[in-house]
Amino acid sequence: MNNSMPILLIPGLGGSPRIYAPVIPQLWRHGPVTVANHLRDDSIGAIARRILAEAPPRFALAGHSMGGYIALEIMRQAPERVAKLALLNTQARPDSDEAKERRRRQIEAIKAGSYSEAAAALYPGLVHPSRHGDAELLAVVETTAEDVGPEAFTRQLVAIMGRSDSRATLAKITCPTLVLTGDQDNTIPNVLSVELADGIAGAKLVTLADCGHLPQLERPRETTAALLDWLRI
């Protein structure tokens, strides 16, 4: 199609391309889709710089959770290269002291050889309560953690702990922006996505019902529809 545009997707903490698998086929019809590699560096700034070095000159950008932190850093480093922005189940705030301490404990557990257990322990907080017993969904989450591996997961935790506060820079974002969240996200509460959308002029807020932190997997049809609307702007 004449208005085809490259689409760059960034997964969240412990996420691999599998997290976007349910939505990619329809997004691909609007332009070539790339899932960024966010495994190689231990700071959000460095991750963003490497992604930009490998990205097309101009693109539509979507980031989920940690991927949203990276997307906001890309908006600071090279806003002119981002034609459209989608922020999925993410926030503009930095880690609290409590969150940093929790991540330090995760790093200690991983270094002690408990990576699989540490990754599995995150699952109940990632999904809507009705999906806690969903073995198929759990298997996908565990497989994405295997894709990432303990060393990269640890780098990601360090990067997240050191990220910047993005609230003051939200007003500088001028491209069409989608903010998507689940109504029962226990990892990044819905109210923080609302705050994010309120800080970006003209941002569209979409809240998915009966959904936790993984909308691509929990509500793929509704997530795809929201992303397609965003691409058509």
- The CATH number given to whatever domain includes residue 62 is 3.40.50.1820
Tell me the pLDDT tens digit for each residue of 165-224: 999 999 999 999 999 999 999 999 999 999 999 999 999 999 999 999 999 999 999 999
% residues pLDDT > 70 (the chain): 99
Total structural domains within the chain: 1
> What confidence score (pLDDT) does residue 233 get?
83
% residues pLDDT > 90 (the chain): 95
In a domain, 197, yes or no: yes
In a domain, 138, yes or no: no
Is a pLDDT exceeding 60 seen at residue 30? yes
Over residues 29-41, the mean pLDDT reads 97
Is a pLDDT exceeding 50 seen at residue 143? yes
In a domain, 37, yes or no: yes
In a domain, 228, yes or no: yes
Tell me the pLDDT tens digit for each residue of 63-87: 999 999 999 999 999 999 999 999 9
CA distance linking residue 212 with residue 130, whole number of Å:
10
Q: What Rg value do the Cα atoms of the chain yield, rounded? A: 16
Over residues 158-165, the mean pLDDT reads 97
In a domain, 185, yes or no: yes
Over residues 4-29, the mean pLDDT reads 96
In a domain, 193, yes or no: yes
Is a pLDDT exceeding 70 seen at residue 5? yes
> What confidence score (pLDDT) does residue 2 get?
53
Instruction: Round the average pLDDT of the chain to a whole number and report it.
Output: 96
Is a pLDDT exceeding 90 seen at residue 135? yes
Task: State the pLDDT confidence band at 1, using cuts at 50, 70 and 90.
Answer: very low
Candidates 77, 82, 88; CA nearest to 224 is 88
Candidates 83, 74, 84, 95; CA nearest to 13 is 95
In a domain, 121, yes or no: no
Over residues 19-39, the mean pLDDT reads 97
CA distance linking residue 178 with residue 173, whole number of Å:
12
Kindly report the CA angle at 7 between 68 and 21, in degrees rounded to 5? 75
Query: What kind and span of H or E run contains 82?
Result: strand 82-88
Q: How far is CA 196 from the centre of its chain?
A: 14
Task: State the pLDDT confidence band at 124, using cuts at 50, 70 and 90.
Answer: very high
How far from 75 is each of 61, 79, 94, 139, 173, CA to CA, in Å?
A: 10, 4, 16, 33, 7
In a domain, 198, yes or no: yes
Over residues 26-36, the mean pLDDT reads 97
Range of the domain at 202: 7-95+157-232
